[in-house]
Structure 1
Amino acid sequence: MNYRNFPMVPRVIFGRGSFNQLNDIIAPKRLSVNAPFIFLVDDIFKNNNWLSSRIPTSYDDRIIYISANEEPRTSQVDELVEDIILNTKERPSGIIGIGGGTILDLAKAVSIMITNKGEAKDYQGWDLVKNPAIYHVGIPTISGTGAEVSRTTVLTGPERKLGINSDYTPFDQVVLDSELTKDVPTEQWFYTGMDCYIHCIESLTGTYLNAFSQSYGDMALQLCEEIFLTDTLSSVDAQEKLMMASWHGGMSIAYSQVGVAHAMSYGLSYLLGTRHGIGNCIVFNHLEEFYPEGVKVFKAMKKKHNIVLPKGICANLSDREFDIMINISLSLEPLWENALGKNWKKIMTPKKLKELYQKM
């Protein structure tokens, strides 16, 4: 048996207000006065002095504000890398991502592409990256995606939506400051939190499950149920616990995989641009056949928080558009094998998948 030797995030700081220690953390990593830190920041914070004024820039450091309204694209990574290389005197000291899953994935991808030739699309897949990334730091401002801990960076490329899965992808440092999540709107909080919940359900019911994944998945699931089904938590406790649920949920898939909802939501995202969190929710809502207990609890959470999911998003698609979604989805073989076993192709036929998409 050949076991995978997975990397973890080597350094983590956790606690409310820990963002204020960012300068102490990164200063020793500065290579020279001409090697700037590049901060990739969700543009929702552009006019938010509470956060932006605390970003510790000096010398030639740059803040690049990025919209998280669309899923990250390989072409966007290439443009950022070109901009950074053309406008810095020396290779940057590091990339620091401050935002949700979109910004964190971009930060991971940019830090890889600064040291690897070609285009980001060339590295979509498993273990294709040859050279270590430059120093990179992840600071989530919303909890649930697990992007802060995972060894993948999910990107929409010209031909597919697929991560750069590599040992060089995980952050060198993560700052978990739950205070940064205090202003997240309710719907966004729910959709991103459900990304974590769905990670857990797919990991814990999958054929790849093992004791490592299960221990993290069980903890994340327990935290999600406490956060989304009870009324006993203060808002601060809920923010702290969701941050930990996200971390554990991300860890639970390090040694396993996600499943049907993620595979199908990649198809939606590629064709329709559906955001990852809401896409997972739209799909998961119709997956009783595969995750009966998980979907039942999900519907209870949805009802409790008065969440109304979009309907009919696939109503007017052509056969060709359905085929694009189906092909993208079915290309994610490890996800289907985890969900349905070695003979998954007999269970999830293109026809069956189309029928599921037509419900949405």
Structure 2
Amino acid sequence: MVPRVVFGKGSFNQLGQILSTERKNGAPFIYLIDDVFEHNKAFIEDRIELSGIDKIIYVSTKEEPKTSQVDQLVTTLKQEFSFTPSGIIGIGGGSIMDLAKAVAIMMNNSGSATEYQGWDLVSNKAVYHVGVPTISGTGAEVSRTTVLTGPEKKLGINSDFTPFDQVILDPELIKDVPKNQWFYTGMDCYIHCIESLKGTYLNAFSQSYGEKAYDLCKEIFLENNLDKEEADAKLMMASWHGGMSIAYSQVGIAHAMSYGLAYVLGTKHGIGNCIVFDKLGEYYPEGVAIFKQMKELHDIDIPEGICADISEEQLNTMVSVALGLVPLWENALGKNWKEQINEDKLKEIYRSL
């Protein structure tokens, strides 16, 4: 679990104070910031208290985080600095959260990030790392995984060393998120809840967090009586609780299939989940029905026909990536999941997207 978190409007301004006790012998803090803020420096950069050789790196999030991207960042930092940084601070959405966690791990572990895609493969503790989400829904700020696309698979580095040492939740930072992105990422949280609460891995711990996140999602996306500031604060809490729920259980079919979309087509995680979940009424009837209500209420169009022109080879790869995520299928359908789903069924669903 994340050991320390601060929450509240304006709490981002406490970052300098929080980091001051973690600086080690002049070693720098490295800030990985979503490049969407590169041209709005007053919003983020001008509020960061840089010292000495601290470094800001603006990172593009047009594509899902890749193991090669992690390896390149780590190589660059190790070549530039002869000592380990005091910490890695990620400021941005889920992609930046995952990159910051992965870079923090790889600063203290040898080899390529591809070698650590899986469960409990990390040997050495990550360097100190902080997450500051500027969009809410993925739960990446609290989860014990960092999802990366490698040359052969899309799979997270899932370990006890992955979670952030500190998270700052400031609702002010998400106030200007575009509507469609707000919805897609918020639905990532909602889908977390459905897949966790309906899964075979469910336990009292994950259920308590999942139910709270689910209730918050319904309040945010089905009711019109919340002002923007209140909705943003609640969405941050929904994301946190949703992330905690899946940390102690698992996600399910929508996430497994969206991994296939991301690996082959580069579809971003939030919208990919929405595209797939919209077609999963057979498996999550109540959850999908409510999702469609939310989609209609907020006048959101989900892309269609994205798999209309894919080749058989691409389709086979999507299916292979999805079926390779065994814990997700076990959570969704039980230990005998292979008797309930097969390649032909998955191809049928993919072709409908």
Q: TM-score range by the shorter chain?
A: over 0.9
Separation in structure 1 between the aligned mates of residue 180 and residue 166 of structure 2, nearest angstrom: 29
Corresponding position: 1:44 with 2:36: yes
Corresponding position: 1:157 with 2:176: no
Separation in structure 1 between the aligned mates of residue 49 and residue 30 of structure 2, nearest angstrom: 11
Selected match of 1:91 from 65, 69, 84: 84
Task: Name the SS of the counterpart of 1:63 in structure 2.
Answer: strand
Task: Name the SS of the counterpart of 2:126 in structure 1.
Answer: coil
Name the TM-score, length of structure 1 as normaliser: 0.97
Instruction: Provide, for residues 65-115 of structure 1, a one-character-per-residue CA deviation record: whole Å limited to 9, x for no partner.
Output: 001111000000000001111111421000000000000000000000000
Corresponding position: 1:172 with 2:165: yes
Separation in structure 2 between the aligned mates of residue 50 and residue 331 of structure 1, nearest angstrom: 41
Q: 1:115 is matched with which residue?
A: 108
Q: Name the amino acid aligned to 1:94.
A: G
Corresponding position: 1:222 with 2:215: yes
Separation in structure 2 between the aligned mates of residue 61 and residue 338 of structure 1, nearest angstrom: 43
Q: 2:182 is matched with which residue?
A: 189
Q: Cα distance, 1:47 vs. partner?
A: 1.5
Instruction: Provide, for residues 113-150 of structure 1, a one-character-per-residue CA deviation record: whole Å limited to 9, x for no partner.
Output: 00000000000000000000000000000000000000
Selected match of 2:292 from 291, 295, 299: 299
Q: Show the 5 A alignment for 1:209-358.
A: 209-358=202-351
Q: 2:119 is matched with which residue?
A: 126
The count of aligned residue pairs is 352
Separation in structure 2 between the aligned mates of residue 358 and residue 288 of structure 1, nearest angstrom: 16
Selected match of 1:205 from 198, 205, 211: 198
Separation in structure 1 between the aligned mates of residue 208 and residue 166 of structure 2, nearest angstrom: 23
Q: 1:3 is matched with which residue?
A: none
Q: Name the amino acid aligned to 2:36.
A: I
Q: 1:22 is matched with which residue?
A: 15
Q: Name the amino acid aligned to 2:197.
A: L
Q: 2:53 is matched with which residue?
A: 60
Q: Cα distance, 1:317 vs. partner?
A: 1.2
Gaps of 5+ in 1: 1-7
Q: Cα distance, 1:37 vs. partner?
A: 0.2
Separation in structure 2 between the aligned mates of residue 36 and residue 180 of structure 1, nearest angstrom: 24
Instruction: Provide, for residues 172-223 of structure 1, a one-character-per-residue CA deviation record: whole Å limited to 9, x for no partner.
Output: 0000001000110000000000000000000000011111111000000000
Separation in structure 2 between the aligned mates of residue 288 and residue 91 of structure 1, nearest angstrom: 49
Separation in structure 2 between the aligned mates of residue 165 and residue 236 of structure 1, nearest angstrom: 33
Q: Show the 5 A alignment for 1:63-82.
A: 63-82=56-75
Q: Cα distance, 1:50 vs. partner?
A: 2.2
Task: Name the SS of the counterpart of 1:24 in structure 2.
Answer: helix
Separation in structure 2 between the aligned mates of residue 151 and residue 345 of structure 1, nearest angstrom: 27
Separation in structure 2 between the aligned mates of residue 212 and residue 38 of structure 1, nearest angstrom: 34
Moved >4 Å (runs of 4+)? none
Instruction: Provide, for residues 292-334 of structure 1, a one-character-per-residue CA deviation record: whole Å limited to 9, x for no partner.
Output: 0000000000001111111111111111111000000000000
Task: Name the SS of the counterpart of 1:148 in structure 2.
Answer: coil
Identity, in percent, stands at 67
Structure 1 window deviating more from structure 2 (82-91 vs 114-123): it is 82-91
Task: Name the SS of the counterpart of 1:164 in structure 2.
Answer: strand
Task: Name the SS of the counterpart of 2:176 in structure 1.
Answer: coil
Cα-Cα RMSD? 0.6
Gaps of 5+ in 2: none
Separation in structure 2 between the aligned mates of residue 340 and residue 225 of structure 1, nearest angstrom: 25
Separation in structure 2 between the aligned mates of residue 76 and residue 191 of structure 1, nearest angstrom: 24
Separation in structure 2 between the aligned mates of residue 89 and residue 112 of structure 1, nearest angstrom: 17
